[in-house]
Amino acid sequence: MLKIVKPLPETHWLSRLRRILHYGDRPWQGLIIVMSALVIVLMLSIGGLLWAKSAGARSAFGWSFLTPTANPNWDPVNDHFQAWPFLYGTLETSLFAILFALPVGIGVAIFLAELCPAWLRTPLTWMVELLAAIPSVVYGLWGIFVFLPQVVAPIGVFLGDTLGQLPVLGSLFAGPIPASGSSRLAASLILTIMITPTIAAVTRDVFLAIPNSQREAAKALGATEWETIWQVLIPFGKSGILGAVILGLGRALGETMAVTMVIGNSIQGGASLLHSGYTMASIIANEFAESVSQLHTDALIEIGLVLFIITLLLNILARYLVWQVARQAPQEARS
Amino acid sequence: MSQFSELMNRNRVARARQRKTANGIMLTLTGLLTILALIPLFWIIGYVIVRGGRSINLDFFIHMPTPMGVPGGGVLSAIEGTLVVTLLAAVFAIPPGVLAAFYAAHYPNTPLGVALRFSTDVLSGVPSIVVGLFAYAVIVVPMKHYSGLAGGAALAVLMLPTIIRTTEEMLKLVPHTLREASLGLGAPEWKTSLSVVFPAAINGIITGFLLALARAAGETAPLLMTALGNERFDIGQIIRGGIQGHQSVFTILGRIINQPVDSLPLALWKYAQQPYPERVELAWAVALVLMLFVLIVNVTARVWIQNRARKMKG
């Protein structure tokens, strides 16, 4: 038996709700637009807030906070702060890390994208990515107890005995390395391990985006596999590889825990890679929660602001370069 | 003349041999570099398993930390704290992240969409310690004390870009025909998005959440200035006290998130620097738990995502 359902009157709350739900596109659009805007506002407010909160340090020290000095003065007791040693430590460790990681990363990318047999490709790619997934404190713990005594200290002694004796370059490698091994060299090497996956993954994507016509053309002209890679693929993808380097550099600059645990945390230390040092991220990690004055907090926040601005600029540059490669590839494929 | 061509020929053969050797050497070198890059992975995993496995036991999971210098004890406070901050982070980051991903997936080329993707990229590059400073300025300063809430907020900012990106990718994998069929049947846009497109992509999206959570659970730097660390953090005690005092559920929840909390990475960092050998052993055990959690989540999530992607494309 069919039961006839009387339609609900227009004014009934249930039919009102149904109407709202049926014409709910506007609230929905509004919601997703607001959430998207929220993400953008969040990004902007990180920079804005750090700028606002570091006002005290900026007005007290001006540019002298960041300029190079021979006698850096970081004195929380007397409220005098100069961030040069941290800037220098960050730049030195990150640049050396890039120097070590770039050849390894490109080698891994070439192997994964061009040479590796298909069955090995997925597991190897995963392993390289897992390297990036291990928490940075675990790297630090392993660094202190295994990597420093077994790898860094011998390398440091060797470098101090050889490169350290050279006339000009010697100042960068002046020994002796601390007996524990904790030094900027240790930080650079740990960073090398941590950023190699980033560089390898992005470079691999760049290689995979290069159209096959390039490889076929090179091989048809008689080039060997290596000549194809070195003389055709790498020049073709060089701006993408540069993007990978910049992305890796951004990661190295901001890396905190592992570096703090192995770098030795010393404000003195000169220019040498073999001495212990400090980085911008590690001074914030060590002193922020125990800062002794408002100006001390402000100075640490200003260091954070500098870090934010550097990584922001690097990211913009890297995205631009990667985007250029992506834009270039399909055009090449057509021609 | 014949002498000349012979010389030419010999030269060509020598050159070809040289090129072949260079080819062989360099290709082998890339293989060796791959092995070199993977040595630390196996070294770390193996060493942490051996060293951490020696000192891990049931006490580790169910007891509070003992005072410094006293052997025994566990890291229950850190486990509870990790749960609190990562769950808070998930609650803060997932709803806005998913909604923003809907926008990014459907309108990638509007000015707002471009700005959104750019912001996501920048956010994913911001160092975690800077995010910690941000959360400090936004939450710790106005509240005037460190709290699990601030730690959760910091981790949420770190999770947000990962969530947006993976959700966007997964939404894009859903075939257009599904969407069009739903719209063609007269379903409104929001209903299509929520009850057709979203369920079709839900598996991949959840694995994306898991990956982001695993990454957040291993973060230390932003917690240093937000959650701070608190070895006496004990959810059980707070809840028992709350029930005895006839407090409402919200008061109890408020008390849980409103005080400094410990977390596994924070505990690891502190223990590793203490001069007591039993604390260092505890640090290795924490490292083992943390690493296994992250690796297991990563591997399962990747397997899952790959299967989904293959199924959707097929």
Between A39 and B73, the higher pLDDT residue: A39
First to last CA, chain B: 65
pLDDT at A142 over 80: yes
Task: Tell me whether residue A38 is in a domain.
Answer: no
Chain B residues whose beta carbon lies within 8 Å of the beta carbon of residue A31 = 99
Q: How far is B120 from chain A (nearest CA, A)?
A: 7
Any chain A CB within 8 A of the CB of B61? no
User: Model pTM?
Assistant: 0.90
Q: What is the mean pLDDT of residues B12-17?
A: 88
pLDDT at A266 over 90: no
Task: Tell me whether residue A32 is in a domain.
Answer: no
Cα–Cα distance between A114 and B31 in angstroms, integer?
Answer: 11
What is the share, in percent, of chain A residues with pLDDT greater than 90?
51
A328: confidence class by pLDDT, cuts 50, 70, 90: low
Q: Are the C-beta atoms of residues B38 and A131 closer than 8 Å to each other? A: yes
The pLDDT of residue A267: 85
Out of B48, B96, B138, whose CB is closest to A138? B48
pLDDT tens-digit series, residues B149-164 = 999 999 999 999 999 9
HSE-CB at A35 with a 13 A cutoff on CA atoms is 21
pLDDT at A332 over 60: no
The pLDDT of residue A139: 95
Tell me, rounded to whole angstroms, the distance of Cα A285 from its chain centroid.
17
Asked whether the bond before A149 is cis by omega within 30 degrees of 0, the reply is: no
pLDDT tens-digit series, residues A181-208 = 899 999 999 999 999 999 999 999 989 9
What is the share, in percent, of chain B residues with pLDDT greater than 90?
52
pLDDT at B230 over 70: yes
Q: Which contiguous run of DSSP H or E holds residue A80?
A: strand A80-81
ipTM of the complex: 0.90
3-state SS string over B90-153?
HHHHHHHHHHHHHHHHHCCCCHHHHHHHHHHHHHHHCCHHHHHHHHHHHHHHHHCCCCHHHHHH
Cα–Cα distance between A114 and A125 in angstroms, integer?
Answer: 13
Considering chain B, what is the average pLDDT of its residues? 89
A317: confidence class by pLDDT, cuts 50, 70, 90: confident
Cα–Cα distance between B218 and A141 in angstroms, integer?
Answer: 13
Cα–Cα distance between A124 and A120 in angstroms, integer?
Answer: 6
Q: What is the mean pLDDT of residues B173-189?
A: 90
The pLDDT of residue B138: 93
Chain A residues whose beta carbon lies within 8 Å of the beta carbon of residue B96 = 35, 38-39
Helix (H/G/I), strand (E/B), else coil: A206: helix
Task: Tell me whether residue A35 is in a domain.
Answer: no
Specify whether domain B56-313 bears CATH 3.40.50.2300: no
Helix (H/G/I), strand (E/B), else coil: B74: coil
The pLDDT of residue A143: 94
Please state the domain extents for chain B: 56-313
Chain A residues whose beta carbon lies within 8 Å of the beta carbon of residue B126 = 46, 254, 308, 311-312
Domain range spanning residue A87? 82-334
The residue written with tokens 């502190």 in the block is B270
Q: Which contiguous run of DSSP H or E holds residue B298?
A: helix B277-313
Q: What is the mean pLDDT of residues B226-237?
A: 86
Q: How far is B223 from chain A (nearest CA, A)?
A: 10
| Region of residue A253 (left: phi > 0; alpha: psi -120 to 50; beta: else) | alpha
- Strand partners of residue A75: A80
The pLDDT of residue B87: 94
Q: What is the mean pLDDT of residues A90-114?
A: 95
Out of A21, A36, A138, whose CB is closest to B100? A36
Any chain B CB within 8 A of the CB of A255? yes
The pLDDT of residue A21: 72
Q: How many CB atoms lie within 10 A of CB A205?
A: 18
pLDDT at A163 over 60: yes
What is the share, in percent, of chain B residues with pLDDT greater than 70?
98
pLDDT at B189 over 80: yes
The pLDDT of residue A160: 86
What is the maximal distance between C-alpha atoms in chain B? 110
Domain containing residue A323: CATH number: 1.10.3720.10
Any chain B CB within 8 A of the CB of A51? no
Least confident stretch, A22-31, A110-119, A148-157, A299-308: A22-31
pLDDT at B26 over 90: yes
Residue of B267, B222, B292, B212 whose CA lies nearest to B65: B267
Least confident stretch, B11-15, B33-37, B68-72, B299-303: B68-72
Considering chain A, what is the average pLDDT of its residues? 88
The pLDDT of residue B314: 56
Task: Nearest chain B residue to A28 by CA: give it.
Answer: B190
Task: Tell me whether residue A280 is in a domain.
Answer: yes
B61: confidence class by pLDDT, cuts 50, 70, 90: confident
The residue written with tokens 């957040």 in the block is B216
pLDDT at A110 over 80: yes
| Cβ under 8 Å to B: A residues 291-320 | 300-301, 304, 307-308, 311-312, 314-316, 319
The pLDDT of residue B97: 95
A330: confidence class by pLDDT, cuts 50, 70, 90: low
A87: confidence class by pLDDT, cuts 50, 70, 90: very high
pLDDT at B101 over 60: yes
Q: Under an 8 A CB cutoff, do A257 and B269 touch?
A: yes
Tell me, rounded to whole angstroms, the distance of Cα A280 from its chain centroid.
14
Out of A39, A144, A225, whose CB is closest to B272? A144
Least confident stretch, A327-331, B19-23, B149-153: A327-331
Q: What is the mean pLDDT of residues A214-238?
A: 92
pLDDT at B313 over 70: no
Domain count, chain A: 1
Asked whether the bond before A176 is cis by omega within 30 degrees of 0, the reply is: yes
DSSP symbol at A134:
S
